[in-house]
Structure formats: structure tokens, C-alpha cells
Structure 1
Amino acid sequence: MKHIYQKGRDSSKPTLLLLHGTGGTELDLLPLAGMVDDEASYLSVRGNVLENGMPRFFRRLAEGVFDEEDLVFRTNELNQFLNEAAGEYGFDRDNILAIGYSNGANIAASLLFHHQQALKGAILHHPMVPKRGIKLPDLSGKSVFIAAGTNDPICSPMESNELRSLLEEANAAVELHWEERGHQLTREEVEAAATWYRKLYNESFK
């Protein structure tokens, strides 16, 4: 998978896995890594799927309707890529925290839904429920921040609350943060995520 890896100044910090939204690239979320933790290593990945020329992490049948077979395939593909990248770059495979926006947040959530050890935690900006009707692995010890919009036309508040409930039922610790600016990624929610991360790092990642 096309990607950028940058080794950080503090190897004890989680490696930040950056996952862009539809039409983005591996460059899009680099500023977020700096805002959340400028000492951490980061691995920024470009999605392998093209939709009308726009990179995505998995196919969809329509807006808000996922191709679930492709979602599972691409989730497994990304998980395997993380295994390989950890070996290539020498970062701790068990200490990865995903930062995803929209489509990137959905594939990050799918990693949590399908692979117990894929992520230590995640910051999910405007995610949807990746797949319904499956039993999630035990996510005890995982921490998740969800940024959602009260008037998001793509991801309804009901969807955001459902995702939180599913993760909490699987024993993840979840914080849900609300903004009132639709589906776009806002500076305010990134700053809220950074505050959550710093608190979590001080309390849990030592």
C-alpha cells in the first residue's frame, strides 16, 4: 500500500496510523499527527480502491451503503500491511493508534470490529458503523474517541450513538464528542481529540 512512514522522537509513544477520507491521499492527515502528538511516529496510508478516480479504503454500493465483502477483504489487507510495516520499520505492532476521517475512520473501526489486536486505540472523525450483525472481539483495554456532527448529513447522530454502544458493549472505553458543523473535519474536534489523547497517554500509555 502506498504510504509515508516517519519515525518519531519518542519510541514509547503509539505509532499513529493516519487514514484519509474519500478522495484524500497519504498527505491529508499529516497535520493532525502534529497536532495530536508531534513526538510520535506516524504511518500514513493511501487507500487501494478508486471510486471515480478518488482513493478510498474499500468500495461502496452507494453513499452510506458499504460493499461489505470488499470491506472485510480490505480490512484484512490493511491489517496484514500493518504487520509487514511493523517488521520493516521496527515499530511496536501492539502499540498503534489510528486517526481516521470519514472513509478512513470507517476502515479503522472495521479493524476494531474484526481484529482484536490490530489497534491499541483510535480517533475516529465522523465514522459510521462498519458492519452490523457480527460479534465484536473483546476490546478491553482499547480506547476510542469519536468526533461526530449533530447535523452530519452522511452520518446521523443515531449512527454515532450506535457505534459508541457497540464498542462499549465490546468493553472498549469510548468518548463521543459532538460538533455542529456537518460532516467536515473541524479544528475544534481535532483539538478535542488531542486533549483526549494527552489525557489517555498520561493515564494509560506509560
Structure 2
Amino acid sequence: MQTTLDRPWTHRFEPGRDPEAPLLLLHGTGGDEADLLPLGRALSPGSALLSPRGPVSENGMPRFFRRLAEGVFDEADVRQRAEELAVFIAEARERYALAAPIAIGFSNGANIAAAVLLARPEALAGAALIRAMVPLSARQAEEERQQLAGKPVLLLSGAADPIVPAGNAAALARRLAAAGAAVEQETLPVGHGLTQADVALAQAWLRRIGKPSA
């Protein structure tokens, strides 16, 4: 079923057997609202799936926020889009009677999920961030301190990733931990693309935090 809420968020929603364990699926650059549905079903077959399309277009490719160059983000736009996504999540939760979701984000989708964790932590119950990098500067680090209050976060990085430097991914892990998140980071011997190893690790992480639904 494809619907659009009052805000400009084209999305897909698939009801699940367990409304207490929804997944928010956030695609990478060039993906759309259908892109990560198979991943969501594989990770947690009984979960409701909420999958929005990024509202920004870059040369015809959907994204969740603007960038100035590869790896250089428009931070004002990141903050605005994180706020808008948090509002979308709240509206979708009310419409579909959902608990706060766990975000499953890949690349650009992982970056906007990290931004929501830092800027609007109440919107998410946790997040699996696949190939994420620091989305926002640390100028508000004091305000972020302990705001995540033990929320589970999984970072899956690629040792051969040509887009996300290892130091940047490690900095994001430290930033989220400093904000109080229960962070687990795994670095795989892979590049930027999504792999079966990512799927297996995310499945195991969801089981550990008690969120999967069979």
C-alpha cells in the first residue's frame, strides 16, 4: 500500500503482526520507498515496515538531504530534513498505530537516521546504520550528552569503503556513545555496498535487543 501523509513524504507501509516492533527503512542515494522492503522482511518478518522516499532530488536520484560534494553535507539542510523526518515518523505512528520504530538505514539513509538520533532522539527506538558517517558538526555536543539514554545503535562499516573514511565512522560511534547510546560497531572487509554479512549482523543485533518478530 502506498500512501502520502499531509507532508510531502511518498512512502510505503506494510502492516505487521507485531505493531510494537516496526522498522523504519531509509534507502541510499538513488533508491526509493520500495528499495529496502526486502531487507526489512528478511530482518524481521513480523514487523510493520514504514519506508519513505527521500524528498530531495540530486540529478533525478532521491536523497534525504542535500550535499555540496561527495561526503560534504549541507548541514542546514540536514537539520531541516531531520526535523521533517521526525514529524513524518510521528504522523505515521499516529495513523498506523505504531510504536517508535527502529531505523534501518543504508548510506544516505543511515546518515539521516544518525541525524535524527542526534537532533530528535525521541523519534526512534534505535537504529542500524549501514555505511554511515558523521552527519552534523559537534557544535551542539553538550546538548546531546546522554540524550540517547541507552538506545541501541548498530554501526556497520566497510574496511574498503571508498566513500566513508574509517576515522569518520569511528567518530560517529564515539559521538553517539557520548550521547548515551548503546553502540555496537562492526567493520567488515567490504566496500560501500550492502552485503549478506550486513544482513546477518543486523538480524543478530535485532535478536539481541529483543526487537525481531517471527
Q: Counterpart of 1:110? A: 115
Counterpart in the other structure of 1:188? 197
Unpaired stretches in structure 2, ≥5 consecutive residues: 1-8
Residue 20 (structure 1) aligned with residue 27 (structure 2): yes
Alignment equivalent of 1:89, drawn from 78, 90, 96: 96
Q: Give 1:199's aligned amino acid.
A: R
- How many corresponding residue pairs? 201
The match for 2:4 is: none
Give a deviation string over 1:107-132, Cα, whole Å, max 9, x none: 00000010120111000000010111
- 8 A Cα contact 1:177 1:189, kept in partner: no
| TM superposition shift of 1:70 | 0.7
Query: C-alpha offsets along residues 108-161 of structure 1, whole Å, 9 cap, x if unaligned?
Result: 000001012011100000001011122225111300011101111110111111
**Contact 2:29 2:63 (C-alpha < 8 Å) held by counterparts:** yes
Q: Which one-letter code corresponds to 1:181 in the other structure?
A: V
Shift >4 Å, 4+ stretches:
none
1:23-68 CA-to-partner distances (Å, cap 9, x unmatched) read: 0011111111112110111100100000000000000000000001
Q: What code does the residue aligned with 2:173 have?
A: R
Query: Aligned pair 1:176/2:185, yes or no?
Result: yes
**8 A Cα contact 2:29 2:62, kept in partner:** yes
Of residues 74, 79, 82, the one that matches 2:81 is 74
* Distance of 1:49 and 1:150 partners within structure 2: 29
Deviation, 1:21, is 0.2
Aligned to 1:10: 18
Alignment equivalent of 1:163, drawn from 172, 179, 202: 172
| Corresponding residue SS for 2:18 | coil
Give the secondary-structure state (helix, strand or coil) at the position aligned to 2:129: strand
Distance 1:25 1:74 in 2: 16
- Unmatched tracts of structure 1, length 5 or more: none
Q: Normalization by structure 1: what TM-score?
A: 0.94
1:180 Cα deviation after fit: 1.4
Residue equivalent to 1:45: 52
Q: How far apart, in 2, do the equivalents of 1:51 and 1:164 lie?
A: 28
Post-superposition shift, 1:178?
Answer: 1.4
Aligned to 2:39: 32
User: 1: distance between equivalents of 2:207 and 2:38?
Assistant: 17
Answer yes or no: is the 8 Å Cα contact 2:19–2:97 preserved in 1. no
Question: What amino acid is aligned across from residue 8 of structure 1 in structure 2?
Answer: G
Shift of residue 189 of structure 1? 1.1
Determine what percentage of the aligned residue pairs are the same residue: 47
Other-structure match for 2:133: 128
> Structure 1: how far apart are the matches of 2:200 and 2:18?
21
Distance, in Å, in 2 between the alignment partners of 1:82 and 1:194 is 23
CA shift for structure 1 position 184: 0.7
The answer (yes or no) to whether the contact 1:124–1:147 under 8 Å persists in 2 is yes
Q: Assess if the C-alpha contact under 8 Å between 1:102 and 1:125 holds in 2.
A: yes
TM-score for both structures, normalised by structure 2? 0.90
